[in-house]
Amino acid sequence: PASAVTAALSCRRYVAGGECKSPARLEGKVAIVTGANTGIGKETARDLARRGKVIVACRDIAKAEAAASEIRADTGNQQVIVKKLDLADTKSIREFAEKFLAEEKELHILINNAGVMLCPYSKTADGFEMHLGVNHLGHFLLTFLLLERLKQSAPARIVNVSSLAHHGGQIRFHDLHGEKSYNPGLAYCHSKLANVLFTRELARRLQGKCQRRAITANALHPGSVRSELVRHSFVMSWLWKIFSFFLKTPWEGAQTSVYCAVAEELDSVTGQYFSDCQPAYVSPRGRDDETAKKLWRVSCELLSIQWD
């Protein structure tokens, strides 16, 4: 019946959520997207490649090269460059940053998109619990290493892909690496809360510098997206297939990342959290400035860096 079709289409439009309408061009500008070989990262890189130069930063070089080749063919932009980055290894992060800084004189957009979800208990090369290590500490270190180049290129933007799951997270300073108790779902939530708190504290510190040209930092929830992120969970993979109609496509999931990266109206907006291309509610734990400051200090200690 026509009414059923109309209802289904209305439901699908609701699921799709917001769309980035900005026509902003990025000629002469450089963007980095981590984890851009699949899912929303790939679609984010594809959109930005229609606007300017994109660095595809990924652990799996073969998949990254295949994605970059597809994006080049689709957009006609040959300035889609693959670079090796394993966020589960601080040595790889430092090597990526060193090579990038040697080869690129400017950086205008850093999209910290890569992530892991529902991993069985495991640790990174540096002994960090995998969710915390990849989703938070890896991007924390990467941002630290690239910040001076962002400052030199300002105005610039840092975009951290978090999740609605941050509402279920807490920063368990007494057991950050899940050695006393571990639940893969909660570990993911904790890491996504860390993304929100990192964004909040980073924005506060950047604003405190009274810069003439701003560097903004914002976080976002991409929505529930049909992607490979749930590959570690058979149950979630099964549910994702059954309810795929009610999930965003990777293109739909990338819209808020693109919006935070290019929308003109966000030129001076910082420290905010977005969903469906509009401001969204942050959990009370995600607004706790004392926890954000402590997480910053602890993160610096774990990574053996000084970031004042």
223: Cβ–Cβ under 8 A, 6 or more apart, which residues?
A: 17, 248, 252, 253, 256, 275, 276
Q: Delimit the domains of the chain by residue range.
A: 32-303
Q: Judge if the upstream peptide bond of residue 155 is cis by omega within 30 degrees of 0.
A: yes
Q: Which residue has the higher pLDDT, 230 or 109?
A: 109
Residue 13 has pLDDT above 60, yes or no: no
> 138 with 87: CB under 8 angstroms?
yes
Per-residue b or e along 2-29, where b marks 16 or more CB atoms closer than 10 Å to that residue's CB: eeeeeeeeeeeeeebbeebebeeebeeb
200: Cβ–Cβ under 8 A, 6 or more apart, which residues?
A: 219, 271, 286, 287, 289, 292
Residue 15 has pLDDT above 50, yes or no: yes
Extract the tokens encoding 226. Answer: 């049909």
Looking at residue 3, its pLDDT comes to: 55
The one-letter amino acid code at 260 reads C
Mean pLDDT of 180-199: 97
Entry pTM? 0.90
The tens digit of pLDDT for each residue in 262-296 reads 999 999 999 999 999 999 999 999 999 999 999 99
- For 32-303, which CATH superfamily applies? NAD(P)-binding Rossmann-like Domain (3.40.50.720)
Mean pLDDT of 242-258: 79
Extract the tokens encoding 126. Answer: 């540096």
Q: With CA atoms as reference, report the closest residue to 113 among 41, 197, 187.
A: 41
Average pLDDT taken over every residue of the chain = 90
Active site residues: 188
> 118 with 184: CB under 8 angstroms?
yes
Residue 227 has pLDDT above 60, yes or no: no
Q: With CA atoms as reference, report the closest residue to 266 among 112, 151, 159.
A: 159
Split at pLDDT 50, 70, 90, the class of 247 is: confident
104: Cβ–Cβ under 8 A, 6 or more apart, which residues?
A: 30, 55, 149
Percent pLDDT > 90 in the chain is 82
Split at pLDDT 50, 70, 90, the class of 8 is: very low
Residue 191 has pLDDT above 90, yes or no: yes
The DSSP symbol for 302 reads: H
Residue 2 has pLDDT above 70, yes or no: no
Looking at the DSSP bridge assignments, the partners of residue 53 are 30
Give me the count of residues in the chain. 308
Torsion of CA 264, 267, 269, 271, to 10 degrees: 110
159: Cβ–Cβ under 8 A, 6 or more apart, which residues?
A: 109, 110, 111, 112, 113, 217, 218, 219, 220, 257, 260, 261
Residue 242 has pLDDT above 60, yes or no: no
Question: Is 139 in a helix, a strand, or coil?
Answer: helix
Extract the tokens encoding 146. Answer: 């690239």
Residue 156 has pLDDT above 70, yes or no: yes
